[in-house]
Each structure stands twice: as structure tokens, then as C-alpha cells.
Amino acid sequence: MASRWLPTLAVALAFVSGGPAHAAGVDDFYRGKTVTLQIGYAAGGGYDVYARQLARHYGHFLPGQPAVVTQNVPGAGSLKLANQIYNAAPRDGTVIGAIGREQVTAQLFGVAGVQFDATKVNWVGNMDRAASLCVAWHTAPFQRIEDVLQQEMAVGGTGPASTTVVLPTALNQLLGYKFKIISGYPGGGDITLALERGEVQGRCSWSYASILSTRPDWLRDGKIRPLAASASARLPELPDVRTVIELAEREQDKQVLRLILAGDEIARPFMAPPEVPPDRLKALRDAFSATVRDPQFLAEARQQKLELDPMDWAEMTDTIRTVYATPQPVVAATMKMLQSTGR
């Protein structure tokens, strides 16, 4: 995929000049402490890779330079962690969470079990605005997306709120495709293993960046066959692969699909608990913005083939509020279609 690396920016005047970036109280609080970055998926998948890359550098840009450790908290496509961060995590600025993109709109869609308000979350930042693929395993009898109109295709999914479940459900309900969704995998890495073992024939809503970072040879060597892209436009490297929006003919179907894919605009979200003291919350947000623009961080991310198109907390919050202002008839139509996912 064509590089989307942002130019290296000055992190903040304080870092350039060597002056204090935060009040002494924040430095004193973090010095000698440990910040835990919790990850809402099992180890090995794309979210895990991105979060661990952030964690390796994040502490350098926090006042007091605390240690940063990662902890996997998988469950329900990261809904478990989102609820935990919002309701039970320490509110002192020592915990943040990496959750799935689908959790950004879970409340809007009335997902069962949501115990947080996305419009009131203390968002820390977003690492990427992503494109995803629906793919078939090379031994499966699917050459084009239209083949799934004629024959059932087994695809792996995580929780009911996950786009790995929601997107194939939408294509079934709206456009008549025949995806058989096998859900309940703890994370993307588990679906990848299921493909290798022959448990499933394909996967939808698989981040293109994750494919490039975790299984680049599969795409290069034809082990997976791209069928459709979840993106606002066709990928330059895959110009013959249509977007899922292009598959729809009716305007309302297109609107529903756009709403379902809204989470792709916020593909790698990070959140903090409510009631974090303002100065510490600012420190968490500033450190995130500094990390994703740091030259050493970027160099390592390039080596891992991680796509980055970061978004700071303010832009992220504005984007989420816009999504939640979607006209109610479109939301209602989307929710009705999603009922069969168990959400």
C-alpha cells in the first residue's frame, strides 16, 4: 500500500527547547510508576502488534518516564475491555486501553452488554484510519466476491460487535451474499490460525495493515485471495478489488454500509477511564501524539510494515460525535439488519 507516513513533526515546544513539558506534580506522580496498556484481544493479532509497538516508546514521552507494560484482556471483540476501562479501571492515569474499532459505534447500534458512552469516553488517540479486506483462503472455491452469491463461504469472526461478524452479516442481509459466520474466536490471530487449519474458508474485515505486518507473504504468494475491500476507495495496490460500497446498488444500502464501516476511520483507538485528573489526561494524550510522530517509533513501525495515519484525541472525538449524529432512519435500518448477529 502506498505509504501514508506523516512527516515528522516537532513534538512540542517543551521537548524541542528542553523545558518542562508538564507541571512538576505530573512528573512526580508518574516517576517510578508503571502505566499499563491493556489490549482487548489475544496476543498475535493486529491490535496486539500495534499496541505493543506504541508501548515500547510511550513511556519516553510521559512525564517522569514511567515504565509501560502491556496486558491482554480478550473478550467479546474487546467489549470486555472497553467496559472494564470505563467502569472499573483505576482513574489515576496509570491505565489506558487499546480496543477494537467496532466498539466506537457499539452504543449507537444498541449492542448488548455495552456499559460505556462513546461520546463521553476520554479518548487518547487513534493510530490509523484503515482499509480492510474480505479474503478467501487459496484452496477455497471463491475467485471473486460474486461467487459468494452462489455458494456458502465459512468466515471466522470474534464477538457479535466485531466487524468480522457485522460486515458479512450486512452483506448477507442487504445484498444476498452467503457468508456462514463462525464467531467466538478470541482475536484476529485466532482467525488466522483457523484459516491455516481449514476451520474457515475466509475472513472479512481483515485490516490490510495487519495483513502486511503479520502475514505479508500470504498476500504476496497468493495464499489469500482478496474479494472485496472495506474502504472509501479502491486500494492502489489492488485496483481490481471493488469496495463493499460499490457492491450495493440502492442508496440506503450504501448508507447502511458506510455507517457500519465508520469504525474504519478510527481503526486503532485508545481510551482512558473517566475522571482521570485533567493534567494527567493531557499528559497521556500528548504522549500519544508525540509517540506516533517520533522518528525512532516510525522507523520501527516501517520495519514491521505497520500503516499509520494517526488522529489526535480532539479530531477523534469530533469524528465520533459526527457518527452519532447519523439520521435516525439510517441507524434504525442498520440496527434492524444487525439483529441477527446477536448484538
Nearest to 104 by CA among 262, 237, 234, 250: 262
Residue 168 sits in the same domain as residue 109: no
Grid coordinates of 170: 450486512
Would residue 256 count as lying in a domain? yes
Question: What are the residues whose beta carbons fall under 8 Å from the beta carbon of 150, sequence distance 6 or more?
Answer: 178
Question: Over 87-109, what HEC string results?
Answer: HCCCCCCCEEEECCHHHHCCCCC
Q: Would you list the DSSP string of 113-148?
A: T--S-TTTSEEEEES----EEEEEETTSS-SSGGGG
Computed from CA positions of residues 162, 309, 298, 204, in that sequence, does the dihedral angle turn out positive or negative? Answer: positive
Would residue 4 count as lying in a domain? no
Residue 101 sits in the same domain as residue 188: no
Residue 73 sits in the same domain as residue 91: yes
Cell 472497553, located at residue: 82
Residue 138 sits in the same domain as residue 221: yes
Nearest to 40 by CA among 116, 91, 108, 93: 116
Question: What are the residues whose beta carbons fall under 8 Å from the beta carbon of 295, sequence distance 6 or more?
Answer: 8
Q: What is the pTM of this model?
A: 0.70
Residue 203 sits in the same domain as residue 253: yes
| Angle (CA) 148 41 81, round 5° | 120
Would residue 145 count as lying in a domain? yes
Residue 298 sits in the same domain as residue 314: yes
Would residue 8 count as lying in a domain? no
pLDDT at 11: 38
Would residue 169 count as lying in a domain? yes
Residue 104 sits in the same domain as residue 136: no
Grid coordinates of 207: 485490516
CATH number, domain containing residue 25: 3.40.190.150
Residue 120 sits in the same domain as residue 136: no
| Residue at which a domain ends, from 262, 286, 312 | 262
Would residue 46 count as lying in a domain? yes
CA 196 to each of CA 140, 162, 192, 215: distance values in angstroms, whole numbers, following the listed order:
12, 21, 7, 12
Tens-binned pLDDT, residue by residue, of the chain (343 aa): 444 444 333 333 333 333 334 456 999 999 999 999 999 999 988 899 999 999 999 999 999 999 999 999 999 999 999 999 999 999 999 999 999 988 998 899 888 899 999 999 999 999 998 789 999 999 999 999 999 999 999 999 998 878 899 899 999 999 999 999 999 998 888 999 999 999 999 999 998 878 987 899 999 999 999 999 998 789 999 999 999 999 999 988 888 898 888 877 898 999 999 999 999 999 999 999 999 999 999 999 999 888 898 999 999 999 899 889 888 888 998 888 766 665 5
Residue 38 sits in the same domain as residue 101: yes
Residue 141 sits in the same domain as residue 255: yes
Residue 34 sits in the same domain as residue 182: no
Measured in degrees and rounded to the nearest 5, phi and psi for residue 37 equal -100, 105
Would residue 340 count as lying in a domain? no
Residue 67 sits in the same domain as residue 137: no
The whole-angstrom separation of Cα 289 and Cα 270 is: 12
| Residue at which a domain ends, from 262, 290, 322 | 262
Q: For the chain, what is the domain count?
A: 2
User: Quick check: 157 and 191 in contact, CB under 8 A?
Assistant: yes
The whole-angstrom separation of Cα 315 and Cα 306 is: 21
Would residue 341 count as lying in a domain? no
Q: Determine the structural domain holding residue 65 and report its residue range.
A: 13-129+266-334
Q: Would you list the DSSP string of 171-201?
A: HHHHH---EEEE---SSHHHHHHHHHHTS-S
| Residue at which a domain ends, from 240, 262, 284 | 262
CATH number, domain containing residue 161: 3.40.190.10
